[in-house]
Structure 1
Amino acid sequence: MHGRIKVRTSEEQKLQKQKEQQKKLVAYRMGMKQILSTRNKENYDPASLLLSGQLLSVNPDIYTLWNYRKEATLMELKENHSDAENGDEKSIEFCENELRLTEQCLLSNPKSYGSWHHRYWILNHHPKPNWQREFDLCTKYLSMDDRNFHCWDFRRLLVNKIGITLTDEIAFSTERININFSNYSSWHYRSTLQFLTDAESVAKELTLVQNAVFTDPIDTSAWFYLRWVLSNPNLRKTQKDELLEALEQLQELEPDCKWIVMAKCWLSGNITVLDKEHVENNVHYYKELIKLDPLRRGHYEDCLKIVETKID
């Protein structure tokens, strides 16, 4: 009736969405056709380069287009190299435009492999790369989203470029973990920094990770890091015994947490393979896990068989 707003039905909305997607697909195919038709090893077409940037801004995961832009970058830098007067300035401007494009792409998809890889590649071909600026931006991004493992990997590459000390990076990792224990990327990054060459360094890591698992026993991030610490040969038996006792206390508070029982398995299995008491404890722990985590019953039963052979 007149004066009333027509509300589309779900079927109409579906058809409308399909039409819009079809238009985008046609535009994408036409764009890719134009770009690939001008792609060669001698020179690049500025119009096609511009079009590739527009397509990447919408979908930054088109690896073919990133490779195309790398080829264009190499051609541009080679041509500018012959210009003694303005060559460096032109190359810097071109590379800065590429960096701006990756920033736009990362805004639409912060976890785009292609965008991060292209950004680092451009910086390595930049006549005057500002590695400190990149490092500061990386710190800013991680303060906004500290679970972006792409950014953590990018930071690791930058550390090697600007010579940040290991102590400073460990301090930064500690800061991010204390803000958010549930941060697998930060725990993993920390494991790439740490060597744990003595009992004292192991003790510090045990204290940090123990605080995390006691704060939130359900979160998996710290438990995986704990397992990594427990694999260190500098871990003393007294430290293992103390941790096992602490886990017993934690289990009284969280009886249904499978990670506590699993950590006890890691500890009991590592304390000594000749101690019958610990072997029997491991049998008990795996039987507990079968009840707590029935979806992985088969895995625990296989582990149980291995442990039981040590009793015989």
Structure 2
Amino acid sequence: MHGRLKVRTSEEQKALKEKEQQKKLAAYQAGIQKILSGRKKDSYDSECFALSAQLLIANPDIYTLWNYRKEVILIEKEACEENGTEGEEKLIKLLEAELKLTEQSLLANPKSYGSWHHRYWSMMNHPNPNWANEFNLCTKYLNMDDRNFHCWDYRRLLVNKIGISLEDELNFSNDRLNANFSNYSSWHYRSTLRSLDEDSIGYELKLVQNAVFTDPSDTSAWFYLRWVLSNPALTKDRKTELMEALEQLEELEPNCKWIVMAKCWLSGSLALNDKDYVDRRVEFYKRLLELDPTRKGQYLDYLKIAEDKIKQRECDRKF
């Protein structure tokens, strides 16, 4: 009717969207082809260099373009090193621009491998790198998204560069975990900070035990618990106390498979010194068959191993 705007159908909208995507793809491919065709070992085209930045902001996951920029910077670095102070200032300006570029590309994709790698590479080639600023940037990013394992990895690289103490990093890890227990990246980062001993393992066990009691259905803390349990510094007494705590938790959450799974992990080592735990492992795996039937085959294999040990024990008694 007159005076009314035509509303496109969903099919028309889809066709227009696909046409626009194809147009962008063609322009993107043409840009990459132009850069690669002008790629040389000892020189570069400033227009292609600028074009590569535009393409990386749109899509930071093209490793070839990051490598191209590295090649250009190394060419410039060699020339700058021959010009004393003036050359150093030029190189600093160039690398600061690279750092800004990675910031822009990380806005497009905060978990871009290429962007984080290029940022660290730029810092390593910087005549006067500000590592403290990088560390603060990591803290800022993790406050925004504490599940970004790329940022956690980058932070680990920076710790040794600026001499952050173990205590400070443990406190930071505590803060992140207190804010959100359900964070694989935070737990994993914590496992890289130090090797546990008899003094430290008690604290880690208490920390992760609080997490699993807070939310037994969350998997992240359970995986960290398994890592703690694999440490030889964990004494039999602590394992026994944990087993009792898990049994209490199971009374509150009888249908949580992770509690039973943790009891299996624990009973595996406890059975080495206490044969009664061999029998209990059979009970645990039978319970897991009920709680987690999708992994039936795995539990049946474990169950057979446990039952075979019981049979072997009975045979040993006869002879």
TM-score by length of 2: 0.96
Residue of structure 2 in register with 1:129 after alignment: 129
CA deviation map 1:125-181 (0-9, x unaligned)? 011110000001101111111110000000000001111111111111111111110
1:20-59 aligned at under 5 Å gives the runs 20-59=20-59
Q: After alignment, is 75-84 or 114-123 more displaced?
A: 75-84
How many Å apart are 1:263 and its aligned residue?
Answer: 0.2
Gaps of at least 5 residues in structure 1 are none
Any idea what SS the aligned residue of 2:84 has?
coil
CA distance in 1, matches of 2:270, 2:175: 32
Residue of structure 2 in register with 1:223 after alignment: 222
The AA in structure 2 aligned to 1:125 is N
CA distance in 2, matches of 1:85, 1:311: 77
Residues 273 and 310, structure 1, Cα contact 8 Å, conserved in 2: no
Q: After alignment, is 237-246 or 274-283 more displaced?
A: 274-283
Residue of structure 2 in register with 1:178 after alignment: 178
How many Å apart are 1:36 and its aligned residue?
Answer: 0.6
CA distance in 2, matches of 1:46, 1:305: 68
CA distance in 1, matches of 2:11, 2:92: 52
Any idea what SS the aligned residue of 1:235 has?
coil
2:35 aligned with 1:7: no
How many Å apart are 1:84 and its aligned residue?
Answer: 2.0
How many Å apart are 1:274 and its aligned residue?
Answer: 5.1
Residues 290 and 296, structure 1, Cα contact 8 Å, conserved in 2: yes
Any idea what SS the aligned residue of 1:86 has?
helix
1:84-233 aligned at under 5 Å gives the runs 84-198=84-198, 200-233=199-232
Residue of structure 1 in register with 2:315 after alignment: none
CA deviation map 1:89-111 (0-9, x unaligned)? 10000000000000000011000
Call closer, same or farther: CA 1:97–1:23 in 2, change over 3 Å.
Answer: same
2:260 aligned with 1:261: yes
How many Å apart are 1:272 and its aligned residue?
Answer: 2.6
CA distance in 2, matches of 1:268, 1:195: 23
The AA in structure 1 aligned to 2:270 is I
CA distance in 2, matches of 1:20, 1:291: 52
Q: After alignment, is 206-215 or 290-299 more displaced?
A: 290-299
How many Å apart are 1:8 and its aligned residue?
Answer: 1.3
Count of residue pairs the alignment pairs up: 311
Residues 95 and 122, structure 1, Cα contact 8 Å, conserved in 2: yes
CA distance in 2, matches of 1:224, 1:70: 39
Gaps of at least 5 residues in structure 2 are 312-319
The AA in structure 2 aligned to 1:263 is A
